[in-house]
Amino acid sequence: MQKFRGYTSVGIIGLTAVVIFGLGWLLATLVDTTWVFGQNMLSDLGATTNDARNYFNLGCFFGGILVMIAGIGIASMKKHRIYVAAGVFAAIAGAFLAMIGLFPTDTGNTHDMFAYGLFATGIIGMIIMCAGDWRYGRVIFGGLTMIFLAIIVVTYLVESTEYTEGVAVIVFLVWFAMSCVKIALIKEKL
């Protein structure tokens, strides 16, 4: 069976999104030494008075645009509707992430709407992708997604909001990277 050519591109775009956002976050934390994981919200990096603001907001914006493109690519691989839905939620989550880069936390309610939207669509997308993976026999990926979701839920139940946010973002990054590798390597249409 010939591999669908677009899958590799979608996977690479998604992995690039993870790297860009991760670098923006890392560079921002290196510049703003007052920011502490688990004590500050990630979005605090986007409202600093130093260059951390630029690194974080640009990482959010360009990473979000690439997540949106990857999500559209996933949705266009429309053999199974469940993966179309997962792609749509990824695209919406990417749009929310890009908007966080444009509307930092010091913009108030507008930022909060995009931040909550990002987390809601990210978790829903993970659940949908997990259901698709289980349904179509990709039990390793489905099982890993369930573990990632459990990590987010348990952290939410036992830790502060600031710590939970940081853990959730790391889990999202690892999960999205894993999903992009899966997409890049599969041999048949989703």
Q: Tokens at residue 109, please?
A: 């309610």
By C-alpha distance, which of 64, 66, 61 is closest to 9? 66
* CA count, 13 A, side-chain hemisphere, 61: 11
By C-alpha distance, which of 62, 70, 76, 112 is closest to 90? 70
Per-residue model confidence (pLDDT) at position 2: 46
3-state secondary structure of 37: strand
- pLDDT over 80 (residue 21): yes
- Assess if residue 21 is contained within a domain: yes
- Assess if residue 156 is contained within a domain: yes
- Assess if residue 75 is contained within a domain: yes
Cα–Cα dist 38/24, whole Å? 18
Give the mean pLDDT of 151-165: 95
pLDDT digits (tens, 9 = 90+) for 68-89: 999 999 888 767 888 899 999 9
Q: Which domain holds residue 70?
A: 5-185
pLDDT digits (tens, 9 = 90+) for 178-188: 998 888 887 65
Total domains in the fold of the chain:
1
- Assess if residue 82 is contained within a domain: yes
- Assess if residue 64 is contained within a domain: yes
Per-residue model confidence (pLDDT) at position 172: 94
Phi/psi for 40 (5° steps) reads: -120, 150
pLDDT digits (tens, 9 = 90+) for 119-131: 999 999 999 999 9
Q: Where does the pLDDT of residue 8 fall: very low under 50, low under 70, confident under 90, or very high at 90 and above?
A: confident
- Assess if residue 190 is contained within a domain: no
37, β-bridge pairs? 40
Q: Tokens at residue 46, please?
A: 């986007």
Give the mean pLDDT of 104-115: 89
